[in-house]
Amino acid sequence: MSEFAQADDHVVLGKLTSPYGVKGWLKVYSYTSPMDGILDYAEWVLRHEGRLQRCRLLQGRRHGKGLVAQLDGVDGRETAEALAGAEILLPKAELPKLEGDEVYWYQLEGLKVVTTEGLALGRIDHLFETGANDVIVVKGSLDEAADDRERLLPYLPGDVITDIDLDAGVMTVDWDPEF
């Protein structure tokens, strides 16, 4: 494992939760879809206790409802325990290229959300999955939004989402601000 200093150009893929067994394996909580997509990357960047370090993935597999992984240099339970809670990052430049109008969630976070009538609702704080569709959490702020409400909008491109302009940092939505 090697250390370095920048996290700005990374996206969080998951986290190491706890040791698995006595040979240094760790349980992995993945934010990727599909869940085991995180195992497609041979090198991870771990953020733990304010430090970043590169770590090579030796092996990984599904285990029960989750994942387990073995990392280079982690050869015992104590070493694995020391990494529990670490976030797993990937340089944004290593993410697969998307096609057409597809976007990564991290690209949407922080975008200003405005209605088709031009009323600012706030900024995208985060997104989450539900069974039916993904949901955008928009938080209003007193300086730029109509109010300071938090709104949950369905992520439905072409229906609720009418335009995403990443360069301008704006998402336009067909949404009643009273809802």
Closest by alpha carbon to 41, among 82, 71, 84, 7?
A: 71
Strand order from edge to edge, sheet including 112-115? 150-154, 135-139, 120-128, 112-115, 170-173, 161-165
Q: 94: which 2 tokens?
A: 């290593």
Name 149's bridge partners: none
Task: Calculate the CA 9 to chain-centre distance.
Answer: 13
Helix ranges, 15-154 (H)? 77-83, 105-108
Judge contact between 25 and 19, C-beta under 8 A. Answer: yes
Alpha-carbon gap, residue 28 to 17, rounded angstroms:
6
Judge whether 128 lies within some domain: yes
Instruction: Please report, in tens digits, the pLDDT of each residue of the chain (179 residues total).
Output: 434 444 478 999 999 999 999 999 999 999 988 899 999 999 999 999 989 999 999 999 999 999 999 999 999 999 999 999 999 999 998 888 888 888 988 899 999 999 999 999 999 999 888 878 899 999 987 577 778 899 999 999 999 999 999 999 999 999 998 88
Kindly state whether residue 179 falls inside one of the protein's structural domains. no
Query: What pLDDT, on the 0 to 100 scale, is given for residue 1?
Result: 44
Residue 55 covered by a domain = yes
Q: Are residues 117 and 79 in the same domain?
A: no
Question: Is the pTM higher than 0.85?
Answer: no
Domain-ending residue, one of 94, 128, 144: 94
Position 178 in a domain = no
What is the pLDDT at residue 142?
58
Question: How high is the pLDDT of residue 133?
Answer: 87
Q: Which domain holds residue 84?
A: 2-94
